[in-house]
Structure 1
Amino acid sequence: MLTRFTHAAPSALRALPRVCSLGARFQSTQKKPTPEVIKSLLRDSDPDLKDIIEASGHWANDVRERDPTFFDRIGKGQSPHYLYIGCCDARVDPTVLMNVEYGDLFIHRNVGNLVCGSDLNALSAIEFAVSRLKVPHIIVCGHYDCGAVRGSAKQMDHGIIENWLRNIRDVQRLNHKELSTVVGEEPRHRRLVELNVVEQCINVLKTGVVQQARMKSYLETGFAVPRVHALVFDPAAGELKKLDVKWADEMKEFDSIYNLYPKESMQ
């Protein structure tokens, strides 16, 4: 067995002494980190996350004191009111900025709060939220000072993430005329943030599962759900606002292209 291996990979065997030598030199020169270095690298956080585990325990105890049956209820399953699609930015924590109850949000987050037809992650979240959880609201929330939106506005290759940012570049292309009339880099950025949110809401409305649910509820009750909402958060002001968008007007021109469930097919 050893003879066969030697004939098959002689160069690999010849390299072994050099590799072992490198390992020995690395061990001899490896620095031992000081507590100050560790503290700096971890940004003063606990290396073993003991502080988080302890804080979670305090939270659970506080909840039990205020509501003894809380965990019994949530242990039986979830029933969120909202599907929240937002950006990964650490400043945009949906449960905090929306001040909603625990369990009210079914959350999907990605860089730039995008809804792409090729993203099975986002599409799976939408499918589950609409068809299984029956959420009455879908929120797409963007935010000003968004790194993804800023990056898409620059003429540079961002590496692998460029394939993702191209979706926001497409939003720029679709709204080029309007954006070209906006004076100033920051106002233009803020408007692109808003336009991106609107476009992602339209992408939500393009999905078959959302169209089917809305058409079914409309035929049964005269009111279409889930409702789709475009929100933008301003981290610098702590302000969450809803964009005034009429989806019927936005989609009317393209109904013949994207409408998968015309009324007559549902009757």
Structure 2
Amino acid sequence: MTNFHDLIEGFHNFKEAHLERDREFFDALKHGQNPRTLVIACCDSRVDPAILMGCRPGDLFVVRNVAALVPAEDQSAAPDAVMAAVEYGVKHLAVEHIIVMGHSNCGGIHGLLNPVEVKNESYIRGWLCLAHPVLDELAHTDIPEDDHHGRSRHCEEAAILLSIENLLSYGWLHDRVEAGTLKLHALYYDMHDGNLCVWDAEKEDFVPSAAIVGKA
């Protein structure tokens, strides 16, 4: 879609193809939402979590921001849009899963690695400060300076894990995870090869999701 008119036409196509053909389903959504999963994803227009995971309206409670970052408890502002969404999803919707989903070719991570490109963009620069621990970790790897793909991939994956770690800094989230009523998941969408990768704690690596299909 290239312009605003296309978007409006798209809605009417959606209405004809879905709203009017599945009235019972959409009528049920009028009375409330009951998603079991909250997704924290990047704003990138190529990485829509509902589309990538084949979901219908009402399946996911989604908050999107640059690079899918989550502030730690001591970093969150008042107000904080990300944590407001997480708090609502956990405390009011009682979601059972939180997914943090990053991706390849992430513009936010590119800005993190190339700060000169965002030096005059105060909001972006300030937001990316949340991911500075990722740069500290990168400095202790043996990835060569000229391996731009490797460095990006490392930081994109590390930023996801940092956001998971930051979620656990909130006592009300940590307690639910410890009690087993809330599960945290880390996903990485690699648009180069079309794979959705899942963090495997035992292997300490992101593995293609096909490898865990069927596992609990």
Greater share of residues in strand: 2
Structure 1 residue corresponding to 2:136, chosen from 173, 189, 209: 173
Q: C-alpha deviations, 1:31-50, integer Å up to 9, x for none? A: xxxxxxxxxxxx952xxx34
User: Is this contact kept in 1: 2:138–2:154, CA < 8 A?
Assistant: no
User: Is this contact kept in 2: 1:144–1:234, CA < 8 A?
Assistant: yes
**Secondary structure, aligned partner of 1:151:** helix
Unpaired runs of at least 5, structure 1: 1-42, 219-223, 250-267
Unpaired runs of at least 5, structure 2: 205-216
1:231 aligns with 2:187: yes
1:182 aligns with 2:143: yes
Structure 1 residue corresponding to 2:69, chosen from 90, 114, 120: 114
The match for 2:90 is 130
The match for 1:242 is 198
Once the 2 structures are TM-superposed, how far is the Cα of residue 175 of structure 1 from its aligned partner? 4.5
Which structure carries more relative contact order (alpha carbon 8 Å, separation 6+)?
Answer: 2
Structure 1 stretches of 4+ with a deviation exceeding 3 A read: none
The match for 1:23 is none
User: Is this contact kept in 1: 2:38–2:62, CA < 8 A?
Assistant: yes
TM-score by length of 1: 0.67
Greater share of residues in helix: 1
Percent of aligned positions that are identical: 33
User: Is this contact kept in 2: 1:85–1:109, CA < 8 A?
Assistant: yes
Decide whether aligned partners of structure 1 residues 204 and 235 sit closer, same or farther in structure 2, where only a CA change above 3 A counts: same
Q: C-alpha deviations, 1:47-73, integer Å up to 9, x for none? A: xx3432232123223224542312210
- Superposed CA RMSD in Å reads 2.0
Task: Compare 146-155 and 197-206 and name the one that shifted more.
Answer: 146-155
Once the 2 structures are TM-superposed, how far is the Cα of residue 169 of structure 1 from its aligned partner? 2.4
Alignment of 1:42-57 (within 5 A): 44-45=2-3, 49-57=4-12
TM-score by length of 2: 0.81
Structure 1 residue corresponding to 2:156, chosen from 185, 193, 203: 193
The match for 1:68 is 23
The match for 2:45 is 90
Once the 2 structures are TM-superposed, how far is the Cα of residue 105 of structure 1 from its aligned partner? 0.8
Amino acid at match of 2:105: D
The match for 1:163 is 126
The match for 2:212 is none
User: Is this contact kept in 1: 2:138–2:151, CA < 8 A?
Assistant: no
Decide whether aligned partners of structure 1 residues 44 and 206 sit closer, same or farther in structure 2, where only a CA change above 3 A counts: closer
Once the 2 structures are TM-superposed, how far is the Cα of residue 208 of structure 1 from its aligned partner? 2.2
User: Is this contact kept in 2: 1:149–1:193, CA < 8 A?
Assistant: yes
